[in-house]
A and B are shown apart, each in its own frame.
Chain A
């Protein structure tokens, strides 16, 4: 069982992470990751997807997460230049404790992205997230984030904002 303060801390983390992503606060978002962080966006909704056998949209280790952020900060990431305007809702949060003590949060999200790089178009993104969180020096950090889009296997427009 999770204590109420733990539950509140995880919920707060998910809401904060969503806000930092929405507002393109890249450095603060990057600081939420542990050094062994893995950021995974499968290209299928198949629960049996294996990133060592199947192509993913994103399967970043910490180094690649940093590359992703640096590109967004460079001013030349034209697929996010200017940055999309975004707001997302995170809901249906369920939290478990893994055997190693890490906290595992499952949630659903809806994200409205106004893409403003060529045509101004609203894109709706919907999916399920799994965060693995660990305390590092007292603060919660992400050591894994998996995002399964409902349309993961469909033709997708640019997905270079922070999902």
Chain B
């Protein structure tokens, strides 16, 4: 499959229905194509509105490979600006988060307001009347949209709407947000960032892999009981499923294997949840509330970089063909502050560099990436479950939780995006 440098990559030849080519994880030119077509053209998750609650609040965060600022303007609207002075390109904001009235470039003092409009330029005598300040505001993501507080941006002025991008998968976001008796989540605990010596696509694939648990996480399962115990038993007794929601959005649903409500929360004492359950029933009605509480939050990837990790929200950040970062923060459900302490501890147990789950995932991801350098062997298997996956009434492919149905769904969408001009 070697190709001459400069020739375009044939993604339809590299992504087959039952296998994928190893160069997809290792070729720097493919990484560059991905940044352009997936991260700089398509819809990408940037942050949650609760991270910038008041006018002037901002966070800085990469949009693909490009430094960006998500800021709440004085009119209350959230914008995503590129963190690059229009004069000589300097990052105007170095803080990771904060509150600002203006963004002033430290290099020559060009100053912008919260909408990115250029307010002033020092020593204006060096420019004549043709110097148009209004044309020199900070560049902004041309398209911005949010769903239930999740802010997505696209650096392309044209393309499908966020609504079209998310499609039916909005139900996954709903599933996580509806666990609040006020219908809102808050991401205010801060993010932990976990460095991974593997290609970025390893993260969404592994976050959605139901096959590895009993092997990669054997140390934890041998040590303590957890809500994942039911998926490491005999293949025929496992009830959890994977679902392809279309558009590269993929889900593991553990709930068919749950024995009781709050299993996703590691069980819950009545004293902690009695009041909460009552408020949920008042908001959603008894049946829907009980369903939400039983099923728990979504375990799903919203293509390409937002992972709804049950009680966490995670972000996949590509760094280079060989490196990426997994960010996570616990979901705080608005109106239930009594859960927050447990959610923090649950988050620290599951995710991050010192936790009991993700370090094994990322250690294996690094070994996976090291193994893939054996390019004498060209292909990776992707066929598991082709013999038993089925289409449900809502048009979603569903299969046994250990099946590669959702890897295929991810790669199929990837191929569509990467082959579109």
Contacts and interface: CB of A to CB of B under 8 A. Distances in A.
A144 interface: no
Nearest to A75: B219
A60 to B, nearest CB: 8
A118 B356 contact: no
A64 B190 CA distance: 22
Contacts of A155: 193-195, 325
A71 B344 contact: no
A118 B195 CA distance: 14
Contacts, number: 110
A156 interface: yes
A33 to B, nearest CB: 17
Interface residues of B, number: 41
Contact of A159 (B188, B347, B354, B356): B354
B213 to A, nearest CB: 12
A74 B218 contact: yes
A118 B370 contact: yes
Interface residues of A, number: 36
B77 interface: no
Given A119-B366, A156-B193, A160-B359, A55 B347 contact: yes
B96 interface: yes
B393 interface: no
A117 B223 CA distance: 21
Q: Is the interface of A mostly helix, strand, loop or mixed?
A: loop
A59 interface: yes
A163 B325 CA distance: 21
Interface string A64-86: 10011011001111110100000
B326 to A, nearest CB: 9
B363 A117 contact: yes
A56 B348 contact: yes
Interface string B343-369: 011011100111010011011101101
A6 to B, nearest CB: 32
Contacts of A57: 192, 348, 352-354
B356 A55 contact: no
Contacts of A79: 359-360, 362-363
B356 A67 contact: yes
A158 B190 contact: no
A99 interface: no
A104 B193 CA distance: 30
Contacts of B189: 53-55
A41 interface: yes
A1 to B, nearest CB: 37
A118 B363 contact: yes
Given A67-B224, A71-B356, A117-B367, A157 B219 contact: no
Interface string B178-217: 0000000000111111110100000000000000000010
A58 interface: yes
B320 interface: no
Interface of A: 41, 43-44, 51-59, 64, 67-68, 70-71, 74-79, 81, 117-119, 153-160, 163
6 contacts: A44-B190, A55-B192, A71-B220, A74-B223, A78-B359, A157-B362
